Each structure stands twice: as structure tokens, then as C-alpha cells.
Amino acid sequence: MRAIVLLLVLVLSASAETVTFRNHVQPILMKTGCSTGACHGAAAGQGGLKLSLRGYDDEGDFLTLTRGAFGRRVNPSEPAKSLILLKATSAVPHKGGERFKVNSPEWRTLVDWIADGAPGPRAEDARIERIEVQPAQVRLAPGEKKQFTVRAHFSDGHSEDVTRWAKYTAANQTVLNVDDAGLATVVGHGESAVTVWYLQKVAFGTASVPFENQIAESTWTQAPRRNWIDDQVLAKLRELNLPPSPRSSDGEFVRRVFLDTIGVLPTANEVRDFLADKSADKRDRLIEALLVRQEFVDYWTYKWSDLLLVTKRKLPLPTMWSYYRWVRDQVASNTHWDDFATKLLTAQGSSLDNGAANYFVITPDPRDVSEKTSVTFLGISTVCAKCHNHPMEKWTNNDYFGYANLFARVRIKNGKGEERIVFAADDGDLVQPLTGKPQQPRPLGGQPVALDAAGDRREALVKWLTAPENPYFARAITNRVWANFFGVGLVEAVDDIRETNPASNEQLFTAAATWLREHHYDLRALMREILQSETYQRTSAPLPGNKDETRFYSHYYPRRLMAEVLHDAIAQVTEVPTPFTTRDVTVEGDNQTPFPLGWRALQLPDANTNNYFTKTFGRPARELTCECERTTESNVAQALHIANGDTLNAKLRANDGFITKVLAAKKTAAQWLEDATLATLARVPSPAEIQAVQNSLAAAKDEQRLVVEDTLWALLSSREFLFNH
């Protein structure tokens, strides 16, 4: 009955108001799939009809429908016989099948529009300003259904119920599904956003489905809290009825914090000292020590070099080193992220003297550099808006070219030899292909810059980029740092921050970004807050009540070590360094000299080394500004390489490594096993493990070395070693 009443209201509403092409016809074409990428919105269209994707080009679509095909698509004298209606209702053959029925609200709206003379988009048309989804937040139970409704608000002050015409998607389909009418059905526990599109506007409602756990009130009142992170995480866990796991052991923590913060394992002696320390502040003191270690600079320089595409594949060797050294200097001096971005994005001069200038040498095209900049510093991909309005975001084709035009006057000229000179010209604009005219320069969502304004347009860009009111800058880097320490970003994927991809805990995300902004974008300070939180220091061992949870930080999530860290850990434990002699990256100024023996993979300026291990385990090629280039997914090649590959086996058999030293020192099985277990797993071996090794030694007689080799191989190939936990 409710559906019939709603349908009647929609029909009466459509007939009572003047039907416009922009605000009524376009939503129908999008909702019924006509202007989507799978149909007439495809790059080449379908069946001779090409519409703009999701209706981003009102004028072009109007002309196509009313003037194309010799005007046969609309018939003002007999609207019901218009080809667009005959096709959509399958009255005549249509490869797309039936899109709506005769006398449906869609059919009646289109008939009214055609009968009115099929008017085109007009300057005086009311423009949509926002859409509102109700309920904005709802708490549901398994099996329950909930109807989401959508109201559109327009520039002339009126609003319309557009529930029928909107497009719906559930962010987490393991929690709920949503149909084309906005009716959501709960299928599991957790939380999911229901994202809604209408006329280039996006909004969402959130449905929470608490887990069915019996949790005592004291769990929340007595839960340890160190800072604001814990307050926000515990509030979300309580809302979803998820119990938090207890604190990690000292062994878990010391190994985890070393790997997450500086990318190396603690040594056996470092673990012993930490485990023996009984002071209450030892975790805080360890955190402070790690944040100033040289390996911290190595690790974060490598991370940012991935992001900024430092590679010899894109730059001559001398300028690649200049770029790398610039990044390293910023990390070493703890340059705050807003200053980092400002220096990089306004860089000019010699690519040899000012390494930051290579950011533009790598991508001289203003469109490419704008796309790279939006992903790097905003966590936003604008590439889809290059050809049409973004299908999953609010960015339009005009937004894209206005943003790219900020870089149109960045020029590059040749210097001496391989040197390039970056400078800002006084003229030059990027033409918007749809209009054939330059698009006014404008940051995404910011104020426009006059086409004839003097000075470097990049100054306006960084002023907007780092402004407190910019909603993206702090969130993007906060999400990257958060994902490094937790393995899962507040928004996933890490560089896909958009309205249609909401955070798992929006209150926490907002609080974290605000905290960073208020602390002047000091990334080390944010890292300290994360590392000191009880949330980060929880054990990875799940409880029965939170074992299926993967987004709300009820426990630490185990994850495989990234390729370079894993490689360096194996070299460290076996005490056999890898000689990095590569055809791709050599010491500056000499194409034949290898890197000094003992350098770790994380110390190299370029990821593209001639190293099979790191390649197999997913190191990025540094071709794209995208976290998707790096993979931590397991595969058969990795398993085979651990079992039979040269990297691990050659280091185990080396004559000058850990095993040779153990045998020469004539240590007991318990002694060397403790050394090996502390060095690999940051814990002491269990009595059962010691006994098993002693039994193997007794049976081996004269093959003592093989037993030590096999034992160390077993440790290095274990999930406990391969994963951070």
C-alpha cells in the first residue's frame, strides 16, 4: 500500500510541475541505465546512440536526443510514438531490453516533456545544490529491512522527493544489500554505508548492525584508554557490540613496533633488553627511540619515494639521486607535511640542484601532474573526469580541466647535459576540449584564479591545498599513515578517498585529521599518538566475539611483511647481506660500481632493483601513483621461492653467516635456538620446541649443521615470521 501511495505522489508531482530536461529527463536516463557506461554512455555509445556518461553534458545529450537520427527519437505531435519511448518499453526491438513500462512514472515524465515541445536545458533552470538521505544513521538487526528516501534541494528553494530516480549502492554487501528503489535488507553484522547518486550529487546513509555478543558494562568502563584514538575506537566498538582484545605481550609489541616504524626486526639483544625491562614507561621510551633512528629515515624515505615515483626509469641517474636526496632530507629534518607539499609543488630551478623539481620533470603534461597531485596529496583520483563527469564522485569535466590548468604554465627546458630547468611561464592555458576554450584555473572545490592573473598559479594551489578549510589534505595523509601502522586504512583503498567510499569510522577519521591539522601536520607526532594508543598496542589474537571483524580495530590485524622488509629481515637474521649489484640502480656517477655490501633493500633509492625476491613478493614498479602497485597477496611463486629459492637457501648455507658462527661458538641447542627465536619471532622458544631440536640433533649425529639449517629455515618460513602480528 505504501508503495502505491508513493508511486501516486511521484506521478502527480511530475505532472504538476514543469518537466525540465536537466532535472527530470537526465535522472531517468541515468537511473534506467541508458546513460551508463554499459549502454549509451559508453565511449562509443550503443546502436548509433551516444549519450554522455551519467548525463554530464546536458546540452550535448539534448541535441543528440532531439536532433539526432533525423529527429526520429522524439515526436512532439505524438509523444507516445517517440522512438526513445518505443525502444525503452520494448514496443520495437531494443538490445537493451525493457527499461520501463508504459504508463510508469518514467514513461509519463518523458511523455509530458515531449508533449511540452521537448524543451532543452535553460540558463534559468533551478540547479541542484544537495541531496539528503534519510535515515542518515540507523541501527538494524539481521533480516530487517529499511527503506532509504532521498530528497533533492534546488537553487530556487524548492525540494523534491527523488527516491525513485536515485541510484543506490551498499558499501559493504556482507552487511546489507540495497535494491534499485532504496530498500535495504540486512544480511550480516557490521556497518555499511548506502551511497546515493542523483544529478551529479552524492550522499549516504549508514546502517549499523551490532554483533550478537554478551558484553559486560565493565568492559567499556574499565577499558584502558591512552588518548583520543582509544576514545573514538571504543565508542565504535561499543556501538557495534564488539569486544576489544587485550593488550599485546611485550614480545608482540617490540617486534610489531620495530617493523611498522622503521622496517627492520629488533635484534635478539634488543628483544632481551626490552623483555627484561620492568619499568612502566618502557614502551613509550622505545617509541621515542625508534622515531629518531636512522632506519626510520630509511623506511619513510622509501615509502615516500614509492609515492613520488623516484626511479631511474623516469629520470636520468644523477637527477634521480637528486630527487631521492631531497625526499630523504625532508624526512630526516621532519619537514611538516604542509611544508613538504608546498616545497614540492612550487619547485623550480635545476633538477640537479633542487631535487623537488623532478616532480614536474617526471610528468610534464599538466593533466598528468594534476592527476598525480590529487592522488598524492588529496587521496582523490580525478582521471575519470578527464573525458566526462566522474561517475562515482562529484568532480565534473570542468573541474578536471580547471584543476589541470593550474599547472599549464609550468615549463621545462634543457640545462647542461641531463639537467632540466623547471620554471613558471607568464602565459599559456589548457583548453577544455568540450568547449574549445581555456577552463578557468581552479583547485578542486576551491576559489577560481583569473585567467589573466599574474604570478605562479601553483602558489594559489598550495595556499588552498594546505588551508585549514581544505577537507582533503589532512585526511589523505592521515589515512596513509594510519594504514601503515594498522594495515587497514580508515578509508580503503588508501588513495581512494571519496564521498562514495566513506570511512569505517568517520568520527575517528575526522578527529585524526583535525588533530594532525592542529599540530601543524607533524607526521612524527601523529605516529607517536598512534603507537602510544591502546588501540595499536592490542594483541593480534582475536576473541570469539571479534574474530570476524576487519575494519574497526578491535584487535591488531596480522599482515604479511612488505617485500623489502621481508628481504632485509632474512638477511639480518642469517647475517648474510645481499650484494645489490643491479643494472638499474648504481651508485651515483659510476654505472659499474655496486652498492656497498650491507646496504638493505630499504636503503636503495630505486625500487626497480635486479632482485628476484623483492619482485616476487610484490615491490612496486613506481610507474603509477597508486597503492595498488604494491601487493602483499600471497601466491605460489612466493611459496616456491621460500621453499627452494636461492635467496633463503643460499643465506642458510653461507660460510660466514649465523649458522657458521653458532657452530664455531659451540653453543648448546637451547642457547642458539633462543638466539634464533628471539631474532626472528621476538620470543623465547617453548620447552617443546627446545626438546624437538635436541631430539633432532641427537638423531643427526654428524649432521649438526643440517639440523641448525633446517631449524632456522623452519623459523624463517613460518607464518609467525612472514607476518607482522
pLDDT at 594: 66
Helical axes 704-716 vs 687-700, angle rounded to 10°: 140
Judge whether residue 6 has pLDDT over 60: no
pLDDT at 590: 47
- What is the DSSP track for 441-499? P--TTS----TT--S-HHHHHHHHHTSTT-SSHHHHHHHHHHHHHHSS-SSSSTT--BT
Residues 608-661: pLDDT tens digits?
Answer: 888 889 999 999 989 888 888 898 888 899 999 898 888 899 999 998 999 999
pLDDT at 350: 97
Q: What's CA 94's distance to the chain center, in Å?
A: 40
Contacts of 45 (CB under 8 A, 6+ apart): 51
pLDDT at 584: 45
Residues 200-236: pLDDT tens digits?
Answer: 788 989 999 999 999 999 999 999 999 999 999 999 9
pLDDT winner (highest mean) among 192-196, 378-382, 483-487, 693-697: 483-487
Instruction: Report d(CA 238, CA 221) in Å as an integer.
Output: 11
Tell me the average pLDDT across 15-26. Answer: 79
Residues 385-410: pLDDT tens digits?
Answer: 666 666 666 677 888 898 999 999 99
Q: How far is CA 441 from CA 428, 456, 459, 654, 723, in A?
A: 11, 12, 12, 61, 47
Q: Which domains does the chain have, with CATH numbers?
A: 2-115 (no CATH), 128-209 (2.60.40.1080), 336-465 (no CATH), 563-724 (no CATH)
Instruction: Report d(CA 554, CA 510) in Å as an integer.
Output: 19
pLDDT at 8: 39
Assess contact for 478 and 509: CB atoms under 8 A: yes
Q: How far is CA 430 from CA 132, 438, 625, in A?
A: 35, 5, 22
pLDDT at 635: 87
pLDDT at 3: 43
Alpha-carbon torsion (175, 181, 182, 185), positive or negative: negative
pLDDT at 11: 42
